[in-house]
Structure formats: structure tokens, C-alpha cells
Structure 1
Amino acid sequence: MNIDRHAQLKALHLYGMAAAWSEWRAESSAQQKPVMPEVWLDRLIIAEQADRQARSLNYQLKAARFPHHRDLIHFDWSETPLEQSRIEQLATASFMDQAHNLILVGGTGTGKTHLATALAVSAIHQGKRIRFYNAVDLVNQLDKEKQLGKAGNLAKQLILIDAVILDELGYLPFPESGGALLFHLISQLYEKTSLRYSRNRQ
């Protein structure tokens, strides 16, 4: 009976194991050397763990909803007065463990959004969950939530997130009622979720 183990592993959603199984079969056929069961079992487990970590990372990067992918590797340190060592320390995301906040203030085009996104990407690589919002879009979402009689649902979701980025806070105007909704959300997240603000210097 010819059993398609590759298909069985995929059917069980063990995609890392399925890929490693195909590779191992090809290698073992070429080498024609007996391999201890523990050796290929360890290899299958390691492959599955690596695959799941990669899938989780990709999922969190998409779930964060960054407008563009940015990282510190491509950050132009010559265009900022910030100390690189200080930024690299923030990139460890340790400040999120105590739900501390971070505010980035500067003129237009000084790299605030790039830096905020890059720090968030670094945090995701360390297992943190992040959400990115343009401040005006977030206010509109909160207003719509209120109109639908579902106020508070978004706050409940964001409390479970490690950090929320509010981009362009204070750059574009929104109604006073929207400001009240945003303030209420921030007060609900205070000391539970890290908030990262970027705003233009007036």
C-alpha cells in the first residue's frame, strides 16, 4: 500500500513537516544510507516549529496594518538628532512589558512614521502584537462604532494588543466629539497597552 505521507501531513496542516519530509525523502534516496528514526523525527519537529514561527510572524505583520514596511536597517540616522543606541534599546520592546508609552515629535518628513513602524516591526519579531492607526481613521472608526451601538468593542480588542501606534496625531483636524472618543479610548488603554504617538511639531 502506497501511503502519501506528504499529503497526510498537509491535510493535518503540518506544512513544515510536509516540506521537510519531501526534502528528507529526496536526500535519503540519493544517499541510500539508513537514518535513525530519532534523527528524522527531530528534523521534522524542528521544521514544523520554524514554519509555524514564520507563519505567525507573517500574520502579525499583516495584522498590524502598516501603511508601508519599514525597518531600522534602512533608517537614515543622518537625518535625525536621535541617538542610535537609544533607538536600538527601544527596539528591544522591553518598554512594552510595563505598558509604557512613546511619543515621537518632529517636523514633516523627519521620519516619525518610519521610526514608529520600524520599532513596531522589531517588536513583532520578538513576539509582540501591534496595531497601526492613522489618528483620523481611528476616530472615524470609533465614531462608526458608536453609531452602530457597539461602543467599547474596539477598546476590548486593543487591550489584548501589546502596542497601538497612533500616527499623525494632531496633524489633521477632527471634530471635538471625535477627540472625546479618542481620549476615552486612550484612557481605557492606559497602563494596559503601550501607546506610540507620532505628531508634527507645530
Structure 2
Amino acid sequence: MRHDPASAAVIVMLRGLKMYGMAGAASDLIEQGAPAFANAVPILSQLLKAEMAEREVRSIAYQMKAARFPAYKDLAGFDFAASEVNEAMVRQLHRCDFIDGAHNVVAVGGPGTGKTHIATA
């Protein structure tokens, strides 16, 4: 049986979703050269991509709820012109490079300067 990248991707997605039984069965079908499986690969691939995206959305929603952020914020909604905040520094911090170096970020300022908005974003 020749190597089919689409079928291999389906196996990877099944394992990524912790569907090991289905991944094993799909591997067997690939080895057998089952034409029905080969025809189903594009549909199965789309379904698995949708499931992975849905799980990612639910995971982010759960993590946001668990973090107890006051509300969803992003940098697109922050008005840098109305604040004295250094936009370049905030954009650099948004890349989270400081995490790799195990550094802390401390936001200091008076009320209404955007500390919570930036930290949440």
C-alpha cells in the first residue's frame, strides 16, 4: 500500500483527539487498502478538523472562565492614543517572550490607565 498523506493526517488527528481505538482501526483499513475508507478520508478529515477547532474553542472558554478575568479583552479594543502606555512595549509583551525567560511583568499606574485591559488581553 502506498503512503497517503491525507490518511496519515487522519491518523494523527485521531491520536491528537485521544481516539486511539479509531486510530488503530483506521490504520488497519489503510493497510487493507479499503476503498470505502479511502473515499471517506476527505470527509473524515473535515469532521476531525471541526472537532479539533471546537475543542480548542471550549478549552479557551474554560480557561478564561477559570482565570476569572473580568471580561474578554484584546489589544484591538485598546485605545493607545488615549493612554500614556508604550504601545511598542505592550505589543512586545503580547508575544509572551518574557515567559520563556521566567521574567515577571508588573503594571503600575493610576486608575483608568488600562492596566487590567492590557493584562487581560
The two structures have a TM-score, normalised by structure 2, of 0.62
Alignment of 1:43 onto 2:38: no
Letter in 2 for 1:65: R
Cα shift at 1:46: 1.0
Residue by residue, what CA displacement relative to the aligned partner does 1:120-141 show, whole Å, maximum 9, x if unpaired? Answer: xxxxxxxxxxxxxxxxxxxxxx
Per-residue Cα deviation, 1:81-107 (whole angstroms, up to 9, x for no partner): 232222111111121123210111112
User: RMSD value over aligned CA atoms?
Assistant: 1.9
Q: Does 2:94 align with 1:91?
A: yes
AA matched with 2:120:
T
Q: Offset at 1:68? A: 2.3
1:106-157 per-residue CA deviation (whole Å, 9 max, x = no partner) reads 1221111111112xxxxxxxxxxxxxxxxxxxxxxxxxxxxxxxxxxxxxxx
CA distance in 2, matches of 1:108, 1:49: 40
Corresponding residue to 1:82 among 61, 64, 85: 85
SS in 1 for 2:107: strand
In 1, Cα distance between the equivalents of 2:72 and 2:42?
38
Cross-structure match for 2:105: 102
| Partner Cα separation in structure 1 for residue 96 and residue 61 of structure 2 | 18
**3-state SS, counterpart of residue 49 of structure 2:** helix
Q: How many residues align?
A: 85
Which protein is richer in helix relative to its size?
Answer: 2
Trace 1:134-153 onto structure 2 (pairs within 5 A): none
Q: Which structure's residues are more often strand, by fraction?
A: 1
- Structure 1 distance, partners of 2:111, 2:58, is 35
CA distance in 1, matches of 2:40, 2:92: 44
Gaps of 5+ in 2: 1-16, 18-37
- Please, which runs of 5 or more residues in structure 1 have no aligned partner? 1-13, 15-34, 119-202
Runs of 4+ in 1 over 3 A off after TM superposition: none
Give the secondary-structure state (helix, strand or coil) at the position aligned to 1:105: coil
SS at match of 2:59: helix
Q: Using the alignment, how far apart are the partners of 2:46 and 2:71 within structure 1?
A: 36
